[in-house]
Structures are given as C-alpha cells and as structure tokens.
Chain A
Amino acid sequence: MAALKVHGNPFSTSTQRVLACLYEKDVEFQFVNVDMGAGQHKSDSFLSLNPFGQVPAFEQGDLKLFESRAITQYIAQEYTDKGTQLLLPESNKTMAVVEENEAALAKVLDVYEARLAQSKYLAGDHFTLVDLHHLPNAHYLMGSSAKKLFDSRPHVSAWVADITARSAWSKVLDLQKHY
C-alpha cells in the first residue's frame, strides 16, 4: 500500500483528530508540517490538496482527502485489522451520535451525561471513532473556563479522563513538542 502523508499542524484540533486516529491504528505515516503563521495553507500547492485551504489534508498514492472526519473514517476502514478497533462490528444497528454545538455546550453536555450514564462510551461499551473525534476539543476545553461544565457532570468528566489517558492521544501531544 502506498505511503500515507498528513499535511497539517499539531496545534490544530482537526489535524489532531487525524493524528489520534493514525496512532490508534499504529499505522506508519509521514507528517508534513504546514506553517499557518506564514499562510502556507493558502498557497497554491496546499490548495491543490484542500481547495478550502484548511488543515489537515491527507494523501495516499493518488488518493487525496480532506475534512478530518472523512479522513479518520477512511483510515479506520482501510486499516480495520490493525491497531484499535475504532468501528463497531458490521451491523445496521450502530447508533448515530450528535456532534457538539459549541453555542449550547451546557445543554449538549447534559445530553452526553445522560447518554454516558447508560454506556461507557458514546456509541456503546467500546471506544470508537465517535469518542476519538471529541478528543482535541475536549482537551482544549479542559484547559479553559469551560472545565467547570465538565467537572459538574460526573459521567462526562469520567469519560474525558478515560479517553484523554489513551496512549495514542499522548503521542499526539508529544508531537507538539517538536514544533
């Protein structure tokens, strides 16, 4: 299989989402830093990877992808036999889970609190892509004044503590030290 390349920035939440997925799958890839301060994400060469001029972008041979959640789903599918199983087994009965609405974060967290009282992770009793997708934002929010919204919800805060303790996530944070 052709080599994987991720073009992005280790401080970008969307890039981190893809990196976390690659580390969970234990797949080799090349990380190409995009200097956003210098406007590299708006250069012609980057726009040929993502016409919306946003990180991350992904390449494997002649396949070019963008939008972090499409990339993670491709990786999880393509490397289904490697590393952590991030997709639920072949089943029509997977639950659809709603993504965050930052404007109504507290209301959203109430829904999550109720959901996580019923199962250990968002889609069931196993860690999946759905939980992974929350990692970058959950990490930043825990370092902000929004932390109190999490602390006051015991199931949500236990879930955040669990997912951010995963070794794949530590590797994402380690990558930042080089930049």
Chain B
Amino acid sequence: MTIKLYGVAMSTCTAKVLACLHEYGAEFELVPVNLQNGEHKQPAFLAKNPFGQIPALEDGDLTLFESRAISTYVAEKFKGSSCDLLRSQNPKEAALVKTWMEVESQQFSPAISPIFYQSIIVPILHGGSPNQAIIDESAAKLGKVLDVYEKKLSSSKYLAGDFYSLADLHHLTYIYYLMKTPYGKLINERPRVKAWWEDISSRPAFKKVASGLTLGDKN
C-alpha cells in the first residue's frame, strides 16, 4: 500500500516531507487539501490531524502529523537504503543529528517563520500589509541564530557533522522562501551559511520540491 501525504506542494511543512521522500526515492501519493475551502478544519481532516494543519501522512493503518515527526518516520522506515539522513548506526552521530533537528525546531523556525508569514502569507493570502516591527524583531533573532550556524559550519561541512542529514534538510523550505524576500541577505552576508545553503539547495531531491514552492511567484 502506498504512503499518502495530505498537503500542498507550496506549503513549507508539506514540502519538508516531500524533500525527505524524494531523498529516499520513496513511492507516495500527494493528496491535495483545499485550504481555501477550509478543508483542513473539517472533521474528515481533523480525524487525521486534530490540530487542523497540513501535512498529515497515512501509511496503511498508521496516521501521523507534524512534518518533522513524519520525515523522521520516513527516514526510519527506509533505513538501510543508501540514503542515511538519521545516522542511526552511529549513536553519537545520531544524537548530533537530533540536536540540530531540535535547533531548527526550537531556535531557527520561531525566528524565521514570522518573516515568512509577514512577507509572503499576509500580502498574498490575506491581502494585508506586512508588520514591519515583527519582521525587524524576527530578523534580529534570526541573525543571532545564523551567527551560531556560521561558527558551527567552520568546523563541519553540514550542521551535525561532515554528512548531510535531516537536520540540514529541515531548513530547506523556509530558507527557500526567505531568499525571495529582501531578508535573504541574512543568508548571503554569512559566507559559510551561504555556501551551506547553496550546497543543500542544489541537491536533486530538493530541486524536485523547489519547483512546487510557488507562493509569491507571478505567473
């Protein structure tokens, strides 16, 4: 039975999982959720994710939500293939991957997501004006987080070590959108962070996903 991922290709969290699925070459079906019609708040979807957010995943009788938990599940399910994004065979490496996955979730994401929300979601989906005060505050926080990354990347090629892992992958979709705003300078001003970004965003699995990250594009 095929894995079903419920979400939309342009969503940062859905795309995070798509990147992981592509790295592992996993077969799956992307089932669209109609956000404009509020499908994600209807009982049928709430049965999959009681928090009413995309993505959700079904694999046989297992239902999951929270993109980082889903990507971890995918990485564990397909472990043993040539792709190794969790480093499960080496407990110390695995612990470092988990550490930097936590950093992405607890430090990086809270700093970058208000910039994304104000710069892209508010004007495009809500027809409103960005709140510059929120953006400025978040940009300052994100700068401090990226200063730590800049230093870390002087001693290893990727965040958890000299190997690409889920810790790096989880950053892809928010940074991709950030680069469409003037705040992409926060990445470009830091040479090692910039080099790291250019490396991870050039991976074939991510390129497949990036073509779907179309929020804000003029057609």
- A residues lining the B interface (CB < 8 Å): 51-52, 63, 65-67, 69-71, 73-74, 77-78, 92-98, 111, 114-115
Contact = CB atoms under 8 A, between A and B. Distances in A.
Nearest to B53: A98
Interface string B148-173: 10011000000000000000000000
Contact of B99 (A66, A78, A94, A97): A66
A71 B106 CA distance: 14
Contacts of A77: 91, 94-95
Contacts of B184: none
A96 B99 contact: no
B40 to A, nearest CB: 15
B122 interface: no
Nearest to B67: A96
Closest 5 CB pairs between A and B? A96-B69, A67-B102, A74-B95, A70-B98, A70-B99
B24 interface: no
A114 B43 CA distance: 14
A137 to B, nearest CB: 14
Contacts of B99: 65-67, 70-71
Given A52-B107, A65-B95, A98 B101 contact: no
A52 B148 contact: yes
B201 to A, nearest CB: 24
Nearest to B61: A93
Contacts of A67: 98-99, 102-103, 106
Interface string B132-155: 000000000000010010011000
A70 B51 contact: no
Contacts of B70: 96
Interface string B105-119: 011000000000000
23 contacts: A52-B148, A63-B95, A65-B96, A67-B99, A70-B101, A70-B102, A71-B95, A71-B99, A73-B98, A74-B91, A74-B98, A77-B94, A92-B62, A92-B77, A94-B73, A95-B62, A96-B65, A96-B66, A96-B69, A96-B72, A98-B51, A98-B65, A111-B50
Interface string B73-109: 1001100000000000001101110110111001100
